[in-house]
Structure 1
Amino acid sequence: MFEYIKGILIEAKPSYAIVETNGLGYKLNISYLTYEKIKGLINKEIMLYSLLVVKEDALEIYGFYEREEREFFIKLNKVSGIGPKLALSILSYSDINLLKSAINSEDVSKLSSIPGIGKKTAQKMILELKDKIKFSGEEGNSIYEAREVLLTLGFSLEEINKAFLNIDKTKTTEEIVKEALKFFSK
């Protein structure tokens, strides 16, 4: 129904943002990754791709900084056992390309390490999404490998996800690790 909402960012919290446009304030549920990209833009104009979810007892608007994140949210939401809240939680937990890589490599243990995702749900995600996601294997493998290297070095998933926000994901594993280490040394 709504392709996007463009307006002034009034408030941003890790789980929602309020955007004012034409005198109306829209509360959009957002992922932590979207929050990280907009949190410094209070009182500035932003645009979030949106999705209206109709429930029996409520209408909820979900906002996404990137169109790809919204498309992946829609796909996650279609997996049996994953509703909008869990789909948003999954997106908040990890970079989209890391999620796609785990799905493509059928890495049940990585997917089931996400809070709220058990082994059966991880298997359903793989079964229902593996053929539906567009993914560049090389790109995904370098991100996945870089993540594994950084985890081995003792960094948390939250730290790694923050470091990956502004890294060019088409680089080699080594280049991604080097850029992430520069981020951590700031």
Structure 2
Amino acid sequence: MIGRLRGVLVEVGEADCLIDCSGVGYVAVCGARTLQRLPAPGEETTLYIEHTWSAEQGPRLYGFPSRDERRAFTTLTAIQGVGPKAALSVLDVLPPGELASAVAREDKAAVARANGVGPKLALRIVTELKGKSLADAGFTPSAAGVHAEVAPATPSVAGEAVAALLGLGVAEVNARRAVDQALIRLGDEAELSAVIRAALQELGR
């Protein structure tokens, strides 16, 4: 699983961006507020990633400027009726700390300002989040703002290489086998880009 990307921003689209990490380009879907705050193409940037998989879309990476926003996103998408697009829209108008405050005030109207979120869904979001410990989502309403959290473990080269192959449409079992063979050839200290190239050679591409 990919948890973070740090690399050179190549381009920014209407709903996503392309980041070059050691020669491998990753497309990350982002909210409008995140895209607006990215640096100019050619500069280095870091995004925290939520890596999802669905039968309809396959693998997809969602990018966020902080761990708090990533955790808020996963908490929102766990609510029935809240898909990734709606969750991004909510975070566009209410960053994590403001969302927590809106939930504490039961301010359904604030949540309903998000594009594609109607009054009924806004009520469900407020109700569902109020019934949980918002600290589990990495944010709580407080004067100090967002609470700090422990940084996640850095993804392994093998894990990132497998994820990259999945993004190219390779079946997971084949991707893992190819990466394992590549690491046997190159050694555990090999760079990510070299492992991906070797794995693609194993797959006959």
Q: TM-score, normalised by structure 1?
A: 0.68
Where structure 2 has 5 or more consecutive residues not aligned to the other structure, the ranges are: 146-205
Q: Structure 2: how far apart are the matches of 1:136 and 1:109?
A: 18
Equivalent residue, structure 2, for 1:68: 68
Equivalent residue, structure 2, for 1:113: 113
One-letter amino acid matched to 1:122: A
Structure 2 residue 102 is matched with structure 1 residue 97: no
- Equivalent residue runs for 1:1-186 within 5 Å: 1-38=1-38, 40-57=39-56, 58-130=58-130, 131-134=132-135, 135-139=140-144
One-letter amino acid matched to 2:46: M
Q: Structure 2: how far apart are the matches of 1:18 and 1:27?
A: 5
Q: TM-score, normalised by structure 2?
A: 0.63
Q: CA RMSD in A?
A: 1.7
- The number of residue pairs the alignment matches comes to 139
Q: Structure 2: how far apart are the matches of 1:100 and 1:12?
A: 29
Q: How many percent identity over aligned positions? A: 29
One-letter amino acid matched to 1:84: P
Q: Tell me the secondary structure at the aligned position of residue 59 of structure 1.
A: strand
The answer as to whether partners of 2:98 and 2:141 remain within 8 angstroms in 1 is no
The answer as to whether partners of 1:32 and 1:91 remain within 8 angstroms in 2 is no
Structure number, greater radius of gyration? 2
Q: Tell me the secondary structure at the aligned position of residue 143 of structure 2.
A: helix
The answer as to whether partners of 1:14 and 1:31 remain within 8 angstroms in 2 is no
Q: Tell me the secondary structure at the aligned position of residue 138 of structure 1.
A: coil
Cα deviation, 1:10-63, whole Å, max 9, x if unaligned, reads 01235211001122111100112211221x332112111101111112211011
Equivalent residue, structure 2, for 1:172: none
Q: Tell me the secondary structure at the aligned position of residue 37 of structure 2.
A: helix
Q: Structure 2: how far apart are the matches of 1:24 and 1:92?
A: 28
| Superposed displacement of residue 100, structure 1 | 1.7
| Superposed displacement of residue 65, structure 1 | 1.0
One-letter amino acid matched to 1:60: R
One-letter amino acid matched to 1:129: L
